[in-house]
Structure 1
Amino acid sequence: MKKLILSAAIVLGSLTTMSAQETPAQDQNSAPTEQTTPATDQAAPATEQATQTTGVYNEVKSEEVPAAVTESLKKAYPDAELTKAYVNDKKEYKLEVKLGDKEGALYADETGKWIQK
């Protein structure tokens, strides 16, 4: 009986750690949100502080954003309007975008690859 209970506890513990390590696939066709890269149609207001765990984001002009990042934005969201852009010391870009009446933030590295925050 002890072995059965111990085995069940080990199996349940293993399943818990495996599900915690999995991350959902990113959906490029949905509206941007403030917390993640393209994920769901729920857009949060862009009132978040510019400070993240990866460092301080400093505001840059839209013209200073690399072409790879702006092209990636236009490919994922053709109708999105870039309102503000920020960069940190790791060359990660925070893009505040407006899509229709929704606003949110997206994160990308300097090559245009989306980052989940």
Structure 2
Amino acid sequence: MKKLILSAAIVLGGLSVQAGNPVIKTSAIESLIVQDEFTEIGADAVPAAVKSTLEKSFPNTKLEKAYKSEKNEYKLEISSGDKKYTVYTDASGNIIKK
């Protein structure tokens, strides 16, 4: 009788171990960040619409550096006193949030 109870305990113990292994599914999410390449241009190469937007939106600032992408978007580094800012615009002077 002891062997029967011991055998039943071993079999039930073995079944409970198998039921306790959950299946874990993992999924991989890949993200790709595409960064536009900007090339430095002179301040005189910036379109008048972009300069006008800078003067209206950011008064009392100075254009330090200007960059242009292949999509005709402009990255403008401006300064006001000792603070520096980066502004992105399109060729029409519309400010782009990046």
C-alpha distance in structure 1 between counterparts of 2:54 and 2:62, whole Å: 9
Q: Structure 1-normalised TM-score?
A: 0.54
Structure 1 segment 7-22 matched on structure 2, within 5 A:
none
Give the drift of 1:99. Answer: 1.0
Higher relative contact order (Cα pairs below 8 Å, separated by 6+ residues):
1
SS in 1 for 2:95: coil
Structure 1 segment 42-57 matched on structure 2, within 5 A:
53-57=34-38
Give the drift of 1:93. Answer: 0.1
Gaps of at least 5 residues in structure 2 are 1-32
Give the drift of 1:81. Answer: 0.2
Q: Structure 2-normalised TM-score?
A: 0.64
| Alignment pair present for 1:61 and 2:23 | no
The answer for the alignment partner of 1:16 in structure 2 is: none
Percent identity (aligned): 41
Which structure is higher in strand share?
A: 2
Give the drift of 1:55. Answer: 1.7
SS in 2 for 1:55: coil
* 4+ runs deviating over 3 angstroms: none
The answer for the alignment partner of 2:76 in structure 1 is: 95
Gaps of at least 5 residues in structure 1 are 1-51
Give the drift of 1:54. Answer: 4.4
SS in 1 for 2:97: coil
Give the drift of 1:78. Answer: 1.6
The answer for the alignment partner of 1:104 in structure 2 is: 85
Letter in structure 2 aligned against 1:85: A
Letter in structure 2 aligned against 1:83: E
